Amino acid sequence: MASTEVTRLLNLPLRDGNFQVDPAVVLAPMAGITNAPFRQLCREQGAGLFVSEMVTARALIERREETFRLMKPGAGEWPRSVQLYGTDPTVMRQAVEMIGKEDLADHIDMNFGCPVPKVTRKGGGAALPFKRKLFSSIVKNAVDAAKPFGIPVTVKMRIGIDSDHKTFLEAADSAVQAGVIWVALHARTAAQMYEGKADWSAIAELKEHLRPTGIPVLGNGDIWSGQDGVRMVKETGCDGVVVGRGCLGRPWLFRDLVNSFNGSNERYLPTLFEVREVMFRHGELIVEYFESEDRGCKDLRKHMAWYLKGFRVKQELRRQFGMISSLAEFRSLLDQLEDQPYPQEVGEKPRGRTSHGRPPTLPDGWLKDPDELVHLELEDAFSGG
């Protein structure tokens, strides 16, 4: 048992003292997914740190109501981690200063990994680190603005735009020089989207590259079980893992990760009756969060297929789950399910986004000069954020 132990912890230096992320397992921010109710379900399973949905710097300083909802912590949630996105160094500084002055978060994670075309076509997300000076300026402005408030800043990025334009090593150097406390790498390029297997060797390369600095490296990509998390740490030497799609419909994945990181082979494989109670609790939490049964149930619908993945459920019942409009209806449907063991073989396979790779959509001339100073206005690309 001890031979499998890979205990890792991360130090998060907060204004109120050091917080130990133990084990070093972080819930990845996912748009439309990692709101306060889902974070609560996940953090109750015992893992380390849970990051909010992405909010944009411009929307924050414009004080948009929905942005504050996205940042709102759940009951007892601490530290409050928010993922912040921006493409203008000045706006980023203003947003971070606002977070500090109004005590809106304890930790800021910066997004440079989004591969979707509506973002990259304007030079944002995974495309932005290619512009070295702009990337460095954005990160430095964030770190400098956060420092007086004792707010640590981290970054999450991809390998690069495509296999011919890898940016992760140089971008990590810039981020470390600016003062971030760790770097997380999703081991795919923007061109890969969510296709194929993540290249964990890039995580190992980044860890070795940053080893002299002592800055921790977190790995992200293709963690579908607790054993996957252990294997990533062992194979790459990374200091922790970031989990995204693997926990969709499976918040208990974090319990498996905790067990695996502590050297235990114990698995949590809930029966369908146990899963249905998690589903209903998710429904109650999300209705309370939106303060609207109609809106909460509409948001919950996308989780149904993930929760029921691999279980034997009649097609008509599956269809009805995808159309729930009230908690009473939801309870009635759940009570029609027949108990059965967890379908481990199917349940631990890839889930969530499976977008096929494609040549990234970029602004005209984007790849001509990595040192070109550009001005981007991307924040409004994200509705509600």
* Residues known to be catalytic: 114
Tokens read off for 366: 């984007």
- Which amino acid, residue 349? K
Q: Are 381 and 142 in contact (CB under 8 A)?
A: no
Tokens read off for 291: 């303060």
CA-to-CA separations, 374 to 89, 125, 256, 371, in angstroms, rounded: 11, 15, 45, 9
Q: Dihedral sign, CA of 39, 53, 139, 222?
A: positive
> 179-203 burial string, b = 16+ CB within 10 Å, else e?
bbbbbbbbbbbbbbbbeeebbbebb
For residue 245, the SS3 value is helix
The DSSP letter of residue 115 is -
Q: Are 139 and 3 in contact (CB under 8 A)?
A: no
Report the distance separating Cα 383 and Cα 385, nearest Å.
Answer: 5
Name, in order, each residue with C-beta under 8 angstroms of 39's C-beta and a sequence gap of 6 or more: 27, 50, 52, 74, 77
Report the distance separating Cα 211 and Cα 242, nearest Å.
Answer: 19
Nearest CA to 241 out of 62, 8, 38 is that of 8
DSSP class per residue in 246-315: GGTT-TTHHHHHHHHHTT--------HHHHHHHHHHHHHHHHHHHT-HHHHHHHHGGGHHHHHTTS---H
